[in-house]
A and B are shown apart, each in its own frame.
Chain A
């Protein structure tokens, strides 16, 4: 997992930590801000009430007020102050109004009704308190950013051991998927958390899988031994029967058929167990395919349109091509043609016949074991194409079945791993 992937667990946890930090800072900030605001309000009020109380005393005694306190009629009041006075709590001695409008920023006004229909109006400058509050807010924000700068990298770093364990887990799972059945995550470290639990669960799963697969492989190998031993006796003994005898020929034919069936079944179970591994070589495909087709002993035309060299397992290519050609002869109709072509990434082998084509079920569902599709497609066990498909998978090749528009079945095997082509006249 690259360091800069924004969706990595590390950054998610860092973001979560940052969010938690910000939330705590916001709550504390708001509380402190409110407390400070209340305090400065209180200070302003205290100043104003002292001033107004003194002014009131002086006004009742002399009919005039000190310089800093105005004596106004209610009509002379600024509208907001008049409104504040109108809505004043009857128990309170005066009403206040904060004037935030420049150039008076930031004044607190207080109006106190006195006898004679006059109003004493005092004001006090609150700007230093408000500025103090703003500075406080700013320093809280600064402090939060400074904390985040420390906390986020720390959180990202702190996830590293956890990440490492998770990465090891995924590496191991991938190794198991790639066929290393013995791979285990292991206990690893002293931590006892969900990751440990998941690792243990994955290990258990891997062990169960390994046990099952090894059991299957052993079973296949044992079955192979148990079946091949009597078959070898049978076919070798059948070979001893006199030549040209019809009954002997029947026995030999059935022994051969049984042989083929057993080999096909064993091959399928090996493919199913995932026990097969390709042994690749640089293979001149045209030469290989020509040789394979010749050895099938069938009347099959081979068209060499290119002479690619492909990194592949020739014995598996042989299994695929032999099965496709045999299938074409058995279920399709002559002429059966095989072609070798070069592609951008490797090579392509085409096997076509002029028969009724593949049945619809095979085209949609792929080859099914022991199902030859329609009765008119003739006898056979339907294993050949399943094996061809399985072997193609082992090779990492693509095998596709289709029907040509002009009639007849077309099987296409696409092999990757091109290594250039055989130089002209080399062979």
Chain B
């Protein structure tokens, strides 16, 4: 069970990170921009800001950022358009920040390639918790000996034969798709597939239990670190994007339950 947000960040005032993580905040409201910048800087992040979509695109291209926070309603180029432009050339984690929170905003943001969304007003601790989850995913290192037995998926693993040696197989093959769980590389038909950290994390979740139906709640908890308060549309839209990259038939929808990876 995931820890609640308040527990995760409770009592954390300003832990300095040795190598500051760079966050780009694109927000048109001056107060929010400055306040978020100051708040995140207190948590030890290096924060760059941009005031509109085009500025944001320029700032993104100019520097290397570990994470982007985009407002949806931006002048010049809106957050959704900006996210789409960024996804054309980068897999950097993107967190959308919407003031409207209605279905259309959320869905189009996630369709454009955002990894998660928050609805304004968002408390700084919550924002930091979401940032940490996204960054943890981006710097994800699989620790299979601990995680696979816990999921009870090891016996169903197609390459489980090598499990007796105690070393989990690094290369999992599903049809024309191969997933290297150590090098975190994905190939389809010999061609490398570029996945965002969230998509990769989701694929690894499926690969750990091929053929098993994973329900949305479980994926939301294990990949996005949400409890019951999370929005399962995040999962649906990420699965949609993952399918576009690894082949639509690879992940099957089990109506009313969730998704499963097709082994063959």
- How near does chain B come to A377, taking the closest CB pair, in angstroms? 28
Given contacts A236-B35, A239-B123, whether A291 and B227 have CB atoms under 8 Å apart is yes
- How near does chain A come to B128, taking the closest CB pair, in angstroms? 11
Tell me if B102 is interfacial: C-beta within 8 Å of chain A. Answer: yes
CA distance A240 to B29 in the complex (A): 17
Q: Are B100 and A232 in contact (CB under 8 A)?
A: no
Q: Are B216 and A232 in contact (CB under 8 A)?
A: no
A-contact 0/1 string along B37-57, CB 8 Å cutoff: 011001000000000000000
* Partner of B38 from A234, A240, A318 at Cβ < 8 Å: A240
Q: Are A232 and B13 in contact (CB under 8 A)?
A: no
Q: Are B227 and A281 in contact (CB under 8 A)?
A: no
* Partner of A224 from B100, B231, B232 at Cβ < 8 Å: B100
Q: Are B39 and A295 in contact (CB under 8 A)?
A: no
CA distance A236 to B42 in the complex (A): 12
Given contacts A236-B32, A281-B217, A295-B4, whether A228 and B123 have CB atoms under 8 Å apart is no
Give the number of residues in B that approach A within 8 Å (Cβ atoms).
35
Tell me if A288 is interfacial: C-beta within 8 Å of chain B. Answer: yes
CA distance A314 to B13 in the complex (A): 32
Given contacts A221-B100, A233-B32, A237-B31, whether A318 and B229 have CB atoms under 8 Å apart is yes
CA distance A295 to B2 in the complex (A): 12
CA distance A294 to B2 in the complex (A): 13
Given contacts A282-B256, A315-B229, whether A240 and B99 have CB atoms under 8 Å apart is no
Q: Which residues of A contact B175 (CB under 8 A)?
A: none
Given contacts A228-B99, A240-B42, whether A235 and B29 have CB atoms under 8 Å apart is no
* Partner of A240 from B32, B35, B120 at Cβ < 8 Å: B35
Given contacts A228-B120, A229-B29, A233-B31, whether A221 and B102 have CB atoms under 8 Å apart is yes
CA distance A92 to B100 in the complex (A): 106
* Partner of A231 from B13, B102, B103, B121 at Cβ < 8 Å: B121
B-contact 0/1 string along A204-245, CB 8 Å cutoff: 000000000000010001001100111111111101100100
Q: Are B99 and A236 in contact (CB under 8 A)?
A: no
Tell me if A47 is interfacial: C-beta within 8 Å of chain B. Answer: no
Tell me if A259 is interfacial: C-beta within 8 Å of chain B. Answer: yes
B105 to chain A: closest residue by CB: A221
Q: Which residues of A contact B119 (CB under 8 A)?
A: 228
* Partner of A235 from B123, B228, B231 at Cβ < 8 Å: B123
CA distance A70 to B100 in the complex (A): 115
Q: Are A239 and B39 in contact (CB under 8 A)?
A: yes
Give the number of residues in A that approach B within 8 Å (Cβ atoms).
34
A236 to chain B: closest residue by CB: B35
CA distance A13 to B125 in the complex (A): 71
Q: Are B121 and A236 in contact (CB under 8 A)?
A: yes
* Partner of A232 from B32, B229, B232, B257 at Cβ < 8 Å: B32
Tell me if B233 is interfacial: C-beta within 8 Å of chain A. Answer: yes
- How near does chain B come to A171, taking the closest CB pair, in angstroms? 26
Tell me if B36 is interfacial: C-beta within 8 Å of chain A. Answer: yes
CA distance A275 to B216 in the complex (A): 24
CA distance A234 to B124 in the complex (A): 12
* Partner of B35 from A237, A279, A283, A318 at Cβ < 8 Å: A237
- How near does chain B come to A279, taking the closest CB pair, in angstroms? 7
Q: Which residues of B contact A229 (CB under 8 A)?
A: 29, 32, 99, 120
Q: Which residues of B contact A270 (CB under 8 A)?
A: 102
* Partner of B228 from A236, A243, A279, A318 at Cβ < 8 Å: A318
CA distance A256 to B31 in the complex (A): 17
Q: Which residues of B contact A228 (CB under 8 A)?
A: 99, 119-121
Interface of A, helix, strand, loop or mixed by DSSP: helix
* Partner of B99 from A225, A279, A282, A315 at Cβ < 8 Å: A225
Tell me if B122 is interfacial: C-beta within 8 Å of chain A. Answer: yes
CA distance A235 to B122 in the complex (A): 8
Q: Are B101 and A224 in contact (CB under 8 A)?
A: yes
Tell me if B73 is interfacial: C-beta within 8 Å of chain A. Answer: yes
- How near does chain B come to A427, taking the closest CB pair, in angstroms? 9
A292 to chain B: closest residue by CB: B228
Given contacts A224-B100, A225-B73, A294-B4, whether A259 and B121 have CB atoms under 8 Å apart is yes
- How near does chain A come to B12, taking the closest CB pair, in angstroms? 12
Q: Which residues of A contact B120 (CB under 8 A)?
A: 228-229, 231-232
B13 to chain A: closest residue by CB: A243
Q: Which residues of B contact A259 (CB under 8 A)?
A: 121
Q: Which residues of B contact A234 (CB under 8 A)?
A: 31, 121
In residues 209-228 of chain B, which contact A (Cβ within 8 Å)? 215-217, 227-228
Q: Are A288 and B29 in contact (CB under 8 A)?
A: no
Given contacts A281-B216, A295-B4, whether A232 and B228 have CB atoms under 8 Å apart is no
In residues 142-169 of chain A, which contact B (Cβ within 8 Å)? none
CA distance A239 to B215 in the complex (A): 37
Q: Which residues of A contact B29 (CB under 8 A)?
A: 229-230, 232-233
Q: Which residues of B contact A236 (CB under 8 A)?
A: 31-32, 35-36, 39, 121, 124
Q: Which residues of A contact B229 (CB under 8 A)?
A: 295, 315, 318
* Partner of B121 from A217, A235, A281 at Cβ < 8 Å: A235
Q: Are B121 and A239 in contact (CB under 8 A)?
A: no
B-contact 0/1 string along A129-141, CB 8 Å cutoff: 0000000000000
Q: Which residues of A contact B228 (CB under 8 A)?
A: 283, 288, 291-292, 314-315, 318
In residues 266-287 of chain A, which contact B (Cβ within 8 Å)? 270, 275, 277, 279, 281-283
Apart from A230-B31, A318-B228: 12 A-B pairs, beta carbons within 8 A? A224-B100, A224-B101, A225-B73, A225-B99, A230-B29, A232-B122, A234-B31, A235-B123, A236-B31, A297-B6, A314-B217, A315-B228
Nearest 4 Cβ contacts at the A-B interface = A233-B31, A232-B121, A236-B35, A232-B120
A-B contact pairs, 15 of them (CB 8 A): A224-B100, A224-B101, A228-B119, A229-B99, A230-B31, A232-B120, A235-B121, A236-B32, A236-B124, A259-B121, A279-B233, A291-B227, A291-B228, A292-B228, A318-B229
Which residues of B are interface residues toward A (Cβ below 8 A)?
Answer: 1, 4, 6, 13, 29, 31-32, 35-36, 38-39, 42, 73, 99-103, 119-124, 215-217, 227-229, 231-233, 256-257
Which residues of A are interface residues toward B (Cβ below 8 A)?
Answer: 217, 221, 224-225, 228-237, 239-240, 243, 259, 270, 275, 277, 279, 281-283, 288, 291-292, 294-295, 297, 314-315, 318
